Amino acid sequence: MSESSFRRHRRQLLQATAAAAALGALPTVRAQSDKILIGYWPIASGLPLYAGLERGFFKEAGLNVEGVKFQSAQQVAEAMISGRIHGSANGTASAVLALAEITSPGLFKIICSNPSNHKLVLDQFVVPIGSPIKSIAELKGKTVASGPGIQNLTLAKMILEKNGVTDARVIELPIGQHVPSLAAGQLDAVYTLEPTGTAGRLRGLTRVLENGVISKYILGNADAPWFGGSASVTSTFLKEQPELAKKYIAAYARSVDFVRKNPTQVRQHLDGFTSIDPSLVKEVPLAGFTLYNEFTEADIGYFQKFFDVFTERKIFSRTVPVKPLLYTA
């Protein structure tokens, strides 16, 4: 793919004029026949990949799997489009994957998604520890950061709007900079993802303003599952190396099972993959995980409602049906 073609793909994927600026940050990797490369970005919901790598589940299945760290979900999707990786880990923004599907129809299949809400905590608004702000509605006229990418930015703005805040200055900022920026007084609040809230709280620098904000304000039900991130494999991988892909999916499912059954023990695998201090990993709340063959009709309904929000706001150029995106064995 030529540089100009790659830039066109990026613009379509991000739906923003500034999107091409990060191209140079992509790791130099190439998908190889003897290695399965899975993209991730450093948040807590990527645990199934982290645990699978560190506990040897992939090796035991006879697989050579490598996690490839990216600075945003967009970069993961871009690498999938260009054939440089075989799939994404949990935590990769589902809406960004949907944009990639619009750009490159038939690009991938979802093998697992990570639902969260006010009980299965992932998404949150966080403020400095000494902030007088007690609710999202008090962020009028304030400076608020979101994580990088169109999904994070859109959701941050929508949650603010749902709370009557239409004049906040909302900026994108890498997740790892959220706590330092709050502590330095550069921001009034952030819309972020765990382990940010836990890391800031335990260091005495920040406090959580509200957890589970997507389910409450976007889906309209605090208990609803928000399938904000998804693990996937590319359709090319499934087609060209079907047996290898099946083995990988089975090994990933084994890792998901381990994460579910060992929530305390598994937290140690956040160290090295996310920015949280090793001494604090025991405190991080965990999202849920739903495998491709575990989705109920209600789950798919909430997942579709989430995607439809992006269609309604014209970020998606067309409706993206969720059900066809789910892997079927």
Q: Is 179 helix (H, G, I), strand (E, B) or coil?
A: helix
Torsion angle of the four alpha carbons 149, 23, 184, 277, in this order, in degrees rounded to the nearest 10: 90
Distances (CA, A) of 114 to 71, 72, 294: 19, 17, 12
Q: Please list the pLDDT of the chain residue by residue as tens digits (329 residues).
A: 333 433 343 344 433 323 333 333 444 444 456 899 999 988 889 999 999 999 999 999 999 999 999 989 999 999 999 999 999 999 999 999 999 999 999 999 999 999 999 999 999 999 999 999 999 999 999 999 999 989 999 999 999 999 999 999 999 999 999 999 999 999 999 999 998 999 999 999 999 999 999 999 999 999 999 999 999 999 999 999 999 999 999 999 999 999 999 999 999 999 889 877 888 888 888 889 999 999 999 999 999 999 999 999 999 999 999 999 999 99
Closest by CA position to 48, among listed 84, 95, 100, 92: 92
pLDDT in tens, 95-109: 999 999 999 999 999
Q: Kindly state the DSSP code that residue 19 receives in the 8-state scheme.
A: G
Closest by CA position to 121, among listed 16, 1, 49, 216: 216
The terminus-to-terminus CA distance of the chain in angstroms comes to: 31
Q: How far apart are CA 39 and CA 209, in angstroms?
A: 31
Yes or no: say if 102 and 316 are a contact pair by the CB < 8 Å rule: yes
Q: How far apart are CA 232 and CA 238, in angstroms?
A: 11
Q: How far apart are CA 258 and CA 263, in angstroms?
A: 8
What is the structure's pLDDT at 250?
Answer: 98
pLDDT in tens, 129-183: 999 999 999 999 999 999 998 999 999 999 999 999 999 999 999 999 999 999 9
